[in-house]
Amino acid sequence: MDDTESLKARIETLEKQLSEVKELLKKQVETTATKEEVKAVKKEVEVAKKEVEVTKSQQDEWKFYDSTVHLGGYAQVGYASDDPANDRFNQVQYSPIFHYQYKDLILLESEFEVEIEGDGETHLALEYLTIDWFMNDYMALSAGKFLSPIGQFRQNLHPGWINKLPSAPSGFGHDQAAPVADVGVQLRGGAPFGNNMQANYAVFVSNGPILELNEDGDEIEAIETEGFTSDDDDNKLFGGRIGFLPIPNVEIGISGAFGELGLPGDTGDRDYDVLGFDLFARWRNLDLRGEYVKQEVDGFAGSVAEEGQEWEAWYIQPSYKLLPTKLEAVARYSDFDSTHADQDQQQWALGLNYLFSANAIAKFAYEFNDGLTGTDTDEDRLFLQFAYGF
């Protein structure tokens, strides 16, 4: 018996008891009952009435509700070895995700990242927080901080229980070729079109990234894309992504953004743009993913950092479930190029996963890295990781 049926049965019982008490009161009044007896019976009637009212209100709470609350998220722990002298348990991270929905109209969604840093301090970050308005079945308007819709890895694949390898592809980490997040407004959704085809889209306007200079302050070192509530150059970034699903289990995505960026002290701004392509295909037990992204900022004569910069990265990643076992083999090749030689890296990553369930995965992986000799980009790495999504 569910809660509603139980409440109905309780109300019927109380109403029956109330009727019996009323009948008893009537008989007692008609007889030679004392005033004290009549008073006691009336008190019982009042108590019974209140209990019926409370029970009915509880039933109404189950009938009528406007809001839904949901807690999800993921956690991951890991071990890494760059060389025999640098073996360590390097990752303890917890990322709770909160959803609070009002009817079919408004949704608040947010993710926090809580992790232990190398010095033992706890790092807390707001990965994203948006308030979403469901305008219709095919369109939602979001405002706040959202993961960049450029490509697929950052917005959909980076959580540990989804990413099939313990690390991000070369060039798709923080302050590299792929944007991370934006603060602004985003319109996104999807709809069927044509003959059994589907499409999804996202368009946005945001404050845009920030140029990061090197230690000497005379060259652009990186583009920070963490999502900022400041906009010192008063220029907005415009962009989006559109994905096509021509047949089931195949998606092709095209994304891009453009705007202008400035540096303190410059008399004007320089052009900035980003371009991306992504591909996903599934055939039986085989998944194939690939992605390309390029960020570019022009030079500006008379600036403290006159030269323009370019960051370009791509990867291809097949994975195969070894059924009927719970094992999954994965390989990835990624290439990251920039105008800074110490950032360039070519990488082969090979991994073997054990799937406890669809949302719990243990990973063993090894990276073969080729970068500038003597830098971290040239160090091969071994990883062990356990990730759990909930």
| 3-state SS track over the chain | CCHHHHHHHHHHHHHHHHHHHHHHHHHHHHCCCCHHHHHHHHHHHHHHHHHHHHHHHHHHHHHCCCEEEEEEEEEEEEEEECCCCCEEEEEEEEEEEEEEEECCCEEEEEEEEEEECCCCCEEEEEEEEEEEEEEECCEEEEEEEEECCCCCHHHHHCCCCCCCCCCCCCCCCCCCCCCCEEEEEEEEEEEEECCCEEEEEEEEEECCCEEEECCCCCCEEEEECCCCCCCCCCCCEEEEEEEEECCCCEEEEEEEEEEEECCCCCCCCEEEEEEEEEEEEEECCEEEEEEEEEEEECCCCCCCCCCCEEEEEEEEEEEEEECCCCEEEEEEEEEEEECCCCCCEEEEEEEEEEEEECCEEEEEEEEEEEECCCCHHHCCEEEEEEEEEC
Tell me how far apart the alpha carbons of residues 362 and 340 are, in angstroms, rounded to a whole number: 35
Q: Dump pLDDT digits (tens) for 19-32.
A: 776 676 666 655 55
In this prediction, residue 174 carries a pLDDT of 87
In this prediction, residue 164 carries a pLDDT of 97
The Cα diameter of the chain in Å comes to 109
What's the whole-model pTM score? 0.81
In this prediction, residue 142 carries a pLDDT of 97
CATH topology of domain 67-389: Porin (2.40.160)
In this prediction, residue 152 carries a pLDDT of 95
In this prediction, residue 138 carries a pLDDT of 94
The ranges of the chain with pLDDT < 50 are 1
In this prediction, residue 34 carries a pLDDT of 61
In this prediction, residue 19 carries a pLDDT of 75
What rounded mean pLDDT belongs to the chain?
89
